[in-house]
Chain A
Amino acid sequence: MNEKNKIDLLSLEKLSKLARLDFNKKSAEKLIEDLNQIIGFIDQLNEVNTEKIEPLSSVTGHKLPLRKDIVTDGKINKEVLENAPEKTSDYFVVPKVIE
């Protein structure tokens, strides 16, 4: 594996911040080991020559169709809020973000 691509505690902390996903510091060592095993595995792709190859992001072969810019649902506030962990009148409630 290319050493520069290896994940260590510092890069794991950065990734976990990006993913908004806390991790248990006690099991960090095992997690880092697992992640590096996967990275070693996907590094195999370096063997494939992809010069002048366009990336493939969709296999459908058709362009995404456009539809008329009209409301298709709406007035479903109740349904949208139905599963909210915390709500007040028609709003989702989250911890305070401004003092």
Chain B
Amino acid sequence: MTDLLKFNILEILRGLSNRDFSTTELVETYLQQINKTKKLNMYLEISSERALKIAKESDCNYKNKSNRFLEGVPIGVKDMFCTKNIKTTASSKILDNFIPTYESTVTNNLWKEGAIQLGKLSCDEFAMGSSNETAFKGNVINPWNWEDKRSPGGSSGGSAAAVAAKAALSSIGTDTGGSIRQPAAFCGVVGLKPTYGRCSRWGIIAFASSLDQAGPLTRTVSDAAIMLKAMAGHDPKDSTSSTKEVPNYEDFIGKSIKGLKIGIPEEYEGSGVSEEIIKSKEKVVEFLEKNGAEVIKVSLPLTKYALPVYYIVAPAEASSNLSRYDGVRYGLRKECNSLDEMYEKTRDLGFGDEVKRRIIIGTYVLSSGYYDAYYLKAQKVRRLIKNEFDAVFKKVDFLLTPTTPSTSFKLGSTQDLLTMYLNDVFTVPASLAGIPGISIPVGLDNQGLPIGVQILARPFDEGGLFKIGNVIEDCVNFDFTPQGL
């Protein structure tokens, strides 16, 4: 592996600035690595020509000293973001021929700051899944122990794997119930789900609109801070996006955590959580205490109801959002004699099993006679869960939990639906409450697979997550590079 691939965003920006290497060299190096790691099935589209052309412009900008905030940073994009003139499929057959005529706000924000798109990364179909196995073009393979064919997690499996395999300097993903944090934990990278409303959802293919949020997947915490700074901000085109000013997140790196109160929710360590993951979390507690934080036990008794709430709210919103795929305006069409038949056959042909299940469940919980019992009930419990977080954040500043109950599993090994859904048991509650969460890699289990811990914060305290995450990262002090690729 060449040295260029080892550098994080900060080091790359410094190197480019000093002209130690050019953007063209950097992009060429990444394109070579993408080629070398093709066996992991991460990229659905590779924009080589376009990336090299922009790299040339970027080199000019450095020469003229008109370089921007992320000038020359090569980025991989989850295939849920619409990218103008570049095929965007959400890993679904129904969108397999879709070429957007517009650019999502978040990706546009990145390109405006000089970042360079390497290509589009695979994910679970319409971001529905926790293993990347629902992807239409086949699953991504986790770069860790890759010959074992393990799951990179999901739904942002391609985004997490690409950063781990150094086939992107950083990537972006979307998180609806854990889709950034869980794959980040499985692949040994940093993954941030910002507060709901921190990043614009405009131009992101909608799954569950009250939960969807974009975020970065990176090598380091400071890289995540830099990426979020460029991605976040108010967008008139997304009325749920926040008008709160975007802080200079880098200022939170290297700051003391002395006196901060960190809660450990007892409900996040029940049976079913791997002992090694619990041990890793205990180790992190020691790090935090050593650095002057106060760690106390707290309780969030409604935690176990978060998943059932999620599996009502998310499918309900999905069934509504996905009604747009009807074979009329874009995407796949199955020619039929009547309009209704065309809708029904097109959707049967275009959607995979998991997406179909969720559309049917969503239709069911919204249908007459079941709406109150399921959908309204779920929204009420969602409020109680949010209230519970509000209350606990009066006592503590942050929460520390495992990101996932287990480390990466073998592809094809999880046949039971509910077992698969349980992957998100620790990430879903924060999604329902709209609060930010970050997963930080903290070690390897006895099979050499990455373990992640999750930190949760009050709404819009992403800065706090970076501050604590950076301390944890410094204490762990481990190079999370998968071997043998």
- Chain A positions within 8 Å of B, measured between CB atoms, are 5, 7, 12, 15-16, 18-24, 31, 34-35, 37-39, 41-48, 50, 53-60, 62, 64-65, 67, 76, 79-80, 82-86, 92, 94-95, 97
Known: A50-B381, A94-B328, A95-B342. A58 touches B240 (CB 8 A): yes
Assess whether B345 is interfacial by the CB under 8 Å rule: yes
A79:B101 contact, CB within 8 angstroms: yes
Interface size of B in residues (CB-CB distance below 8 Å) = 72
A94 smallest CB distance to B (angstroms): 5
- B383, closest chain A residue (CB): A56
Q: Do B210 and A59 have beta carbons less than 8 Å apart?
A: yes
A sample of 10 more A-B contacts (CB under 8 A), given A19-B319, A42-B312, A53-B384, is A19-B323, A34-B357, A38-B418, A45-B381, A55-B380, A59-B434, A76-B101, A80-B329, A92-B329, A95-B336
- Contact B99–A20 (Cβ < 8 Å): no
- A5 contacts across to B, CB distance below 8 A: 370, 373
A-B contact pairs, 27 of them (CB 8 A): A5-B370, A18-B363, A19-B323, A20-B340, A21-B356, A38-B417, A41-B308, A42-B311, A42-B378, A45-B305, A45-B377, A47-B305, A50-B377, A55-B383, A56-B379, A59-B210, A59-B386, A59-B432, A59-B434, A60-B196, A79-B101, A83-B97, A83-B330, A84-B330, A94-B342, A95-B337, A95-B338
A79 touches B311 (CB 8 A): no
Give the interface of B toward A (CB within 8 A): 97-99, 101-102, 196-197, 210, 236, 239-240, 242, 302, 304-305, 307-309, 311-312, 319, 323, 326-333, 335-345, 347-348, 351, 356-357, 359-361, 363-365, 367, 370, 373-374, 376-384, 386, 417-418, 421, 432-434
Q: Is the CB of B357 within 8 A of A38?
A: yes
- A76 nearest CB neighbor, chain B only: B101
* Pair A45/B378 contact, Cβ less than 8 Å: yes
* Interface contact B197-A60, CB-CB below 8 Å: yes
Which single residue of chain B is at the shortest CB-CB distance from A57?
A: B379
Question: Given that A48-B381, A55-B383 are known contacts, is A19 also in contact with B359, CB under 8 Å in the complex?
Answer: yes
B356 touches A23 (CB 8 A): yes
- A84 and B332 CA atoms in complex are apart in Å by 9
Which residues of chain A come closer than 8 Å to B338, judged between CB atoms? 95, 97
Known: A19-B319, A37-B417, A95-B338. A82 touches B377 (CB 8 A): no
CA distance A2 to B445 in the complex (A): 42
